[in-house]
Structure 1
Amino acid sequence: MRRRKVNKRILTSVLSVVTAFGGFAIAQQPAPKDPAKPAAPAKPAPKPKPVAPLPEYTGLNPKTMAPTAGTADNTAPEGFVAAFNGKDLTGWVGLLKAPNDNPIKRAALSAEDRAKATAEAEANKIANWKVEDGALVFSGKGRSLCTANQYGNFEMWVTWKIKEAGDSGIYLRGSPQVQIWDTNLKNGAHVGSGGFYNNQKNPAIPLKKADKPVGEWNTFFIRMVGEKATVYLNGELVVDNVTLENYWDRTQPIFAKEQIELQNHGNTLWFKNIYIKELPDSAAK
């Protein structure tokens, strides 16, 4: 049998490619771990956001009550004071610009800085809030409208109306908020208005949906005593003695006394029939 001659040039080329590829493969291998060097600790997994528990009836409050105060517009029922006179913005002030919308930061302002911030807030109020047909009307721009007085324990009636896509709320003791919104929005609004939207450890959604169709007037009755608040919407119990958390500093309880704020996110809004009755400190017991 004849033996074929091997082409040395081809063989040399093949060996060169194999050698180069082998070197490349070796270079791609991870370097051996140094047994003397400890492995870097794994990063801790991010903490899950708190999930507020579902609301429950406590049995402390009846499930229904009168749907309105039962008096003529902007006429306070017995024992209450009309916070809005139906004519002008007397008794109301503008919300200070951030970061001084936070009551903690607001309290720390010097007298000079507070005066400047207050002047700016008043100009913002006048530009964006007006009275029309016996109701407070918000332009959809600017900031919240606030009571000039501060309140601790109180009961409150307030009637409100929104447009489509409306998203609003009522701050109690300067803290957000009793939620108001168009329940057709695709952001969880289907649960209804009245819940404590910013709660994390306590119930945040209402017990039931009791809103009237967008464009119609709705009425809240709110009672706040200590850290707890109860809310009726159109006569239906929607929040039953739930703790309102301190949004500004969750390590602290809600402020003992602060302003009430009418808040909105960029849409026209109406309020009227705002009646407040202050309760004694003993009510918290």
Structure 2
Amino acid sequence: MSKTRFALLATLAFATAPAVRAGAPADGEGFTPLFNGKDLAGWTAPEGDGGHWKVVDGAIDYDALSEAKGDKNLWTEREYGDFILKIDWRLKEAPYINKGIPYILPDGTHAKDIHGKEMKLALPDADSGVFLRGDGKYQANIWCWPVGSGEMYGLRTEASTSPELRAAVTPKHQADKPIGEWNHFEITVKGKTVTTVLNGVVVVDKATIPDLPAKGRLALQHHGGKNKAGEWAGPPSLVQFKNIAIKTLD
């Protein structure tokens, strides 16, 4: 075969190859998309939501104003046991000033001043997360706290949590990008363990959770709301998600 003919065939093969969406897991990795970039197929929006969970420019967009009377989170239709989840997320803005953000130590406890009073920080804040196996207690947090996203707040703050587990679910590093920029979670749930990698940095490393359910649905968290004066009453979930895919390990 002449070099000219080989070059022509190679060019045609490249031109006719199927396009791969930027950020999507490559074929052969075993990942299944959980979001098609067009609508909420495969997800269950809260009853009476009013369209506040929606798709905007290829991303799941939430404005923290769901009109649902009960649970306001966005849930997958399917349950999952052992899996690796890949998901991109970004906080669009953080308009609420949270005056009660704790100074969290590496062991997961809160720092205190010389008088024994818990130290509090006043910072712009937004709040969301990814629920694992059907329960908000087992979630990878998304927020503006200096401790960083990926911590498992429900476990860290529970009084019955052992010191070892409290330290394990506290991020080892703060790996968040600035507000408005996209971040990437890779969360591995296997047996009773959870590992969370944020932007290529391991923030929770094989935390062993004795009461972690065997399986359950995933959810994208609602948080916040406005008071009668139209002001945010807590850190809102002004958040977007895209490039969501899962690989089951069962």
Bin the TM-score by the shorter chain.
0.5 to 0.7
Q: C-alpha displacement at 1:127, in angstroms?
A: 2.3
Corresponding pairs, count = 170
Q: Can you give the 5+ residue segments of structure 2 that lack an aligned partner in the other structure?
A: 1-19, 67-71, 95-124, 156-160, 225-235
Query: Does the 8 A contact of 1:198 with 1:204 survive in 2?
Result: no
What corresponds to 1:84 in structure 2?
Answer: 35
What corresponds to 2:65 in structure 1?
Answer: 141
Correspondence 1:192-203 to 2 at 5 A: 192-199=148-155, 200-201=161-162, 202=165, 203=168
What is the Cα-based RMSD across aligned positions, in Å?
1.6
Equivalent residue of 2:51, what SS?
helix
1:56-111 C-alpha deviation (Å, 9 max, x unpaired): xxxxxxxxxxxxxxx634633331000000000000003xxxxxxxxxxxxxxxxx
Asked if 1:264 corresponds to 2:222, the answer is: yes
Query: Does the 8 A contact of 1:74 with 1:274 survive in 2?
Result: no
Correspondence 1:12-23 to 2 at 5 A: none
Instruction: Please tell me whether Structure 1 or Structure 2 has the larger radius of gyration of its CA atoms.
Output: 1
Deviating 4+ runs (over 6 angstroms): none
Equivalent residue of 2:195, what SS?
strand
Rate the CA distance shift 1:244–1:145 in 2: closer, same or farther, 3 A.
farther
Q: C-alpha displacement at 1:257, in angstroms?
A: 1.0
What corresponds to 1:172 in structure 2?
Answer: 132
What corresponds to 1:278 in structure 2?
Answer: 248
Rate the CA distance shift 1:190–1:272 in 2: closer, same or farther, 3 A.
same
What corresponds to 2:143 in structure 1?
Answer: 181
TM-score by length of 2: 0.64
Q: Distance in 2 between matches of 1:76 and 1:141?
A: 31
Read off the aligned partner of 1:123 and give its amino acid letter. Answer: G
What corresponds to 1:53 in structure 2?
Answer: none
The structure where strand makes up a greater share of residues is 2
Equivalent residue of 2:247, what SS?
strand
Equivalent residue of 1:198, what SS?
helix
Q: Distance in 1 between matches of 2:24 and 2:202?
A: 24
What corresponds to 2:230 in structure 1?
Answer: none
Q: Distance in 2 between matches of 1:135 and 1:204?
A: 28
TM-score by length of 1: 0.57
